[in-house]
Amino acid sequence: MIHHNQQVKKVPKLTPLIAAGVVVLTTILTPVAARADALQDQIDAIERQKNANSSISSGLAVQAQGIQGEINALATQIATIQAQIDINTARQNELNGQIEAAQKKLAEQKDMLSASVRSMYIEGDISPLEMIASSKNLSDFVDKQEYRDRIKENIVKTVDEIERLKIQLDAQQKEVSRILDEQKSLRGSLNEKNNEASAKLGAVNQSKAGFDAQIQSQSAQISALKAQQRAANSRLGGSAVAGDPSKGGYPSRWANAPQDSLVDSWGMYNRECVSYTAWKVYQSGRNMPYWGGRGNANEWPGNARAAGIPVDGNPRVGDVAVSMSGYYGHVMYVEAVDGNRIYVSQYNYSVRGEYSEMWINIGSLQFIHF
């Protein structure tokens, strides 16, 4: 088969998140106009799209990984702030309980103080002489007076302590409430960021899935095109063998490089049938025109006639045999002729970029007499 040199498009540069992804997706999905007369144009165009899509898909995967890291960090922050909220909520409930208990105790002490005051008020109606008369002695009178005073002082002191405690508890409760409000606000902000990041991650993954689907479809298209040409080549008959270990003299710089990774002296991709036959014509000392970009293998007879090079159905050693079958056709170098059979050397017969040799029937092959 034939490959000719063609400029590879640059992969669109990824920009953050989905907006750019959508732009790039639109660009990549725009059909590439493959020239109908170029052997590898269709596969090359699909390959370029697939490679571009693969690059973008990889970039989106990196973005998704970064966003997932952001989500994980937010989840950790949310869990931390929630733990603090739980602690402060428990503290707030505890303070509320203490304030309620203090208020209850304060009410009790105030009731006791009121009762004591009322008692002293009633006893205040008794004259000192009557109190002394009712007392066993002076000491008893003094004890009664001191007892009343101590009760009053204790109650007043307790009330004051409870009032101070309640003030402290109220202040602590307000501070805890303030902290809780701030923490809940922070948790709300973190939840909002988490939701935004999750939405971005979903969009990136959806965009990546679109590119991955394109890659899968393009791989299938390439495989189908190659299978079509492989089937057409197989109809030539014969059984291909590895043949010459030196691969017909095909230069090692092209033979040992990955298929379609280099362009030969005639503008054709390496390890393709046309690159090999062009080399063989040149190696024999004849003129090989520069046909890079001028067609598939099945376009060679037309190219030759346009250049004044004879083409017919009669093979000679050193001719280029052309099969017109398949989407691209196939060219081979004629090594020997035996009646209705010819022995050929070739590249890419099985569409895997390999060198091989075989006997085939002349059939409907055309022969270019360089």
| The pLDDT value given to residue 32 | 31
What architecture is domain 237-368? Alpha-Beta Complex (3.90)
Question: Of the given ranges (127-131, 148-152, 203-207), which has the lowest mean pLDDT?
Answer: 127-131
What pLDDT is stored for residue 20 in this prediction?
A: 38
Which residues make Cβ contacts (< 8 Å) with residue 185, sequence separation at least 6?
none
pLDDT at 137: 58
Tell me the sheet residues that pair with 344: 334, 358
For the chain, the average pLDDT equals 79
Percent of the chain scoring above 70 in pLDDT? 76
Give me the mean pLDDT over the 328-335 stretch: 93
Give the integer Cα–Cα distance in Å for 93 and 143.
Answer: 46
**Residue environment code for 51-74, b if the CB has 16+ CB neighbours within 10 A, otherwise e:** ebbbbbbebbeebbebbeebbeeb
Which fold is adopted by the domain 17-231?
A: Helix Hairpins (1.10.287)
**Mean per-residue pLDDT for 10-27?**
37
Please tell me whether the overall predicted TM-score, pTM, comes out greater than 0.75 for this model: no
Query: Could you give the angle at the alpha carbon of 351 between the alpha carbons of 350 and 352, nearest 5°?
Result: 90
Q: What is the mean pLDDT of residues 286-300?
A: 86
Query: Would you state the pLDDT for residue 100?
Result: 84
pLDDT confidence of residue 232: 63
pLDDT of 31 reads: 35
Identify whether the C-beta of residue 22 lies closer than 8 Å to the C-beta of residue 293. no
Could you give the 3-state DSSP secondary structure of residue 244?
Answer: coil
pLDDT in tens, 214-238: 888 888 777 777 666 666 666 677 6
Going from N- to C-terminal start, the domains of the chain cover 17-231, 237-368
Buried b (16+ CB within 10 A) or exposed e, 177-194: eebbeebeeebeebeebb
Q: Encoding tokens for residue 83?
A: 């733990």
- Write out pLDDT tens, residues 60-119: 889 888 999 989 998 999 999 899 999 989 988 988 888 888 788 778 777 776 776 666
Contact 321, 365 (CB under 8 A): yes
Match 């050929």 to its residue by tokens. 344
Cα–Cα distance for residue pair 365/323, rounded to 1 Å = 5
At residue 33 the predicted structure's pLDDT band, cuts being 50, 70 and 90, is: very low
Q: Please compute the mean of the pLDDT values over residues 48-65 and round it to a whole number.
A: 87
Same fold, 17-231 and 237-368: no
Q: What pLDDT, on a 0 to 100 scale, did the predictor assign at position 24?
A: 38
If you average pLDDT over residues 296-303, what whole number do you get? 92
pLDDT greater than 60 at residue 138: no
